Chains A and B, each alone.
Chain A
């Protein structure tokens, strides 16, 4: 069996990532040059922590984008002869080396790691976004009105937060649950919130301009309805958007687990901001409650919310990894990092390097998101 040395492995890997290095250099170079004009994003380039965070996160986003160019093999192709081979072993047929070796079924770890970034970087930000829209839609009225609305909503949020995450997943992400209508119902409830929120946003902001308002509402309903059909019922008439039942299950469970956290933060921020003078001014002008919440309070809460979003995407990445680690909900051949860790960890006594690509990939992405959040927090405190 032919193998290549450590130096050649690293040279090969670095070479495979060429589209990433190129775009990274272009994006970060331009951002650095024009950092004064880029607002909060530009300020990130003033601190080492911020730059490190951006570099790590961008690296993985670009890897997910160019995954097909970077990966050397099909992530589910199995080489029966190369099972559990150490890094640098060469596939005899194509002559291409398996840079990080092969897993227990003889699949190329390098390609699986690269392709795995796609799953994480689509589900984690999307689930965080939906969780945010749910949390914002419920947290604003809870904080603004207080009283009974707040008591009921906070009780529900605390209920979900009192569930140990792992127990929640073991109960919600199972083949049994997938046979029932539960994931669909949950998703159906969660995905209504974005439509409600955008509807309210346009209604309170532009109801005085009927033409613009009707265009916005039609667009919201069309795009929202289209995504709704595709994501919740897997019945997109155009056939572009769709989620498998197990992905829908994971998505719904992750949104369910993280929206109460967002709710609490939004509620706290709203309670703080509603005592400000500009809110009192709006109230004196006779503005509606939802106008004040969406156009006065929400924009002023954006700083802490952006920081929290970064942290939360990282946390969702960890959650997805946990699901994979316990073998919950994901297809066994899926190249996501959590499942890879779970499948290979039994062999670390024989081939220690077999778990490294996926564990380090997950750790660096989450580290990048956390550093980014820290950089953002530091910069937004300075303003």
Chain B
């Protein structure tokens, strides 16, 4: 287990390095630097003045040197200065991440139990009418991206019925405010997890020990809750952990849609305004989230399922 963990950690660090380097290169492409120079000074700057400004601000040094510098600073927790918000990145990002954390928490709290219930109900009697209708329901939710369902919900619940608000203010956790974004995000992810749970449940239900339990004369609810559920929930665990990267993209869409000023909103602002330091910090956060969840899902899977511990 230790060797497995160590290997995973090395791969993770390598991935992190490679990804941040790619992001660093892309953010520092020549046209982006020029645009930044023009934005930071007056827009009618001559080419020569642009060059001089870039030289003075240190953007003309070799890319690898600057990447190394950024890396060392980031490890020490120093992420530079945001040109869009005109304050240090450390003052901007944590607050926004907190808002998004609240949103993501509510999404997970509603999505995961919902998906597991739907999946288990559909998978415990494969081919039944419940199974079919729940399957079509989960296909429909996976087929509807956030920017479609979010808008449809806004039209129905905010414009026509007037029950909920069409915009969500960050930091204000109320039913009116939060329902639409949370509903939009959890529905899109729900279908996918539910289908994985269903497949896993359906497989477990055909296994030998379930047949034994049946032949012993156990009642159907007892079979499902005592014998099937525990084994059926291993596979969805990985899927749930891997939902976090998706949640990140979903967060960006939903935050833009409902004008919720969290992490996704900051990312969009940084990208739109060529805010190099802030965009780098945002990328670091998103890549870290993705890689950490992958690690947790790998380790967790190995922990839950003793059979694969030996091989890796």
Which A residues are closer than 8 A to B by beta carbons? 49, 155, 158-159, 162-167, 170-172, 174-177, 179-180, 182, 314, 318, 321-322, 325-326, 338, 341, 345, 348-349, 352, 355-356, 359, 362-363, 366-367, 369-371, 374
Cβ of B287 and Cβ of A180 under 8 Å apart? no
Cβ of A164 and Cβ of B245 under 8 Å apart? yes
Interface residue B147 (Cβ < 8 Å from any Cβ of A):
yes
CB distance from B149 to the nearest CB of A (A): 8
Given contacts A167-B267, A172-B26, contact A341 B248 (CB under 8 A): no
Across chains A and B, which 3 residue pairs bring their CB atoms closest together, nearest first?
A: A176-B31, A367-B143, A170-B271
Of A159, A167, A363, which is within 8 A of B144 by CB? A363
Residues of B within 8 A of A318 (CB): 145
Given contacts A167-B267, A171-B26, A370-B139, contact A162 B287 (CB under 8 A): yes
Cβ of A352 and Cβ of B155 under 8 Å apart? yes
Cβ of B142 and Cβ of A341 under 8 Å apart? no
Could you write out 20 A-B pairs with CB less than 8 Å apart? A162-B294, A164-B245, A166-B267, A167-B283, A167-B286, A170-B267, A171-B27, A175-B31, A177-B29, A321-B147, A325-B147, A345-B151, A349-B159, A349-B166, A352-B159, A352-B160, A355-B155, A359-B148, A363-B143, A367-B139
CA distance in complex: A363, B155 (Å): 15
Cβ of A322 and Cβ of B290 under 8 Å apart? no
Interface residue B291 (Cβ < 8 Å from any Cβ of A):
yes
Cβ of A322 and Cβ of B31 under 8 Å apart? no
Q: Among the interface residues A158, A171, A348, A369, which one has the most CB atoms of the partner chain B within 10 A?
A: A171
Residues of B within 8 A of A366 (CB): 143-145
Residues of B within 8 A of A171 (CB): 23, 26-27, 271, 283
Residue of A nearest to B23 (CB): A171
Of A162, A348, A349, which is within 8 A of B19 by CB? A162
Cβ of B152 and Cβ of A359 under 8 Å apart? yes
Size of interface on B: residues with Cβ below 8 Å to A: 49
Binary interface encoding of chain B residues 287-312 relative to chain A, with 1 for a CB under 8 A from any of its CBs, else 0: 10011001000000000000000000
Interface residues of B in 205-262 (CB under 8 A from A): 245, 248-249, 252-253, 256-257
20 A-B pairs besides A172-B26, A367-B143 with CB distance below 8 A are: A155-B15, A166-B249, A167-B23, A167-B283, A167-B286, A171-B23, A175-B31, A314-B143, A321-B147, A322-B253, A325-B147, A325-B256, A326-B268, A345-B257, A355-B151, A355-B155, A356-B152, A362-B148, A366-B144, A366-B145
Residue of A nearest to B36 (CB): A176
CA distance in complex: A11, B306 (Å): 62
Interface residue B184 (Cβ < 8 Å from any Cβ of A):
no
Residue of B nearest to A318 (CB): B145
CA distance in complex: A366, B248 (Å): 21
Interface residue B18 (Cβ < 8 Å from any Cβ of A):
yes
Interface residue B5 (Cβ < 8 Å from any Cβ of A):
no
CB distance from B267 to the nearest CB of A (A): 7
Residues of A within 8 A of B159 (CB): 348-349, 352
Interface residue B30 (Cβ < 8 Å from any Cβ of A):
yes
Interface residue B154 (Cβ < 8 Å from any Cβ of A):
yes
Interface residue B102 (Cβ < 8 Å from any Cβ of A):
no
Cβ of A374 and Cβ of B31 under 8 Å apart? no
CA distance in complex: A49, B136 (Å): 8
CA distance in complex: A159, B11 (Å): 10
Of A180, A349, A371, which is within 8 A of B29 by CB? A180
Residue of A nearest to B289 (CB): A164
CA distance in complex: A354, B230 (Å): 48
Of A155, A341, A367, which is within 8 A of B140 by CB? A367
Interface residue B60 (Cβ < 8 Å from any Cβ of A):
no
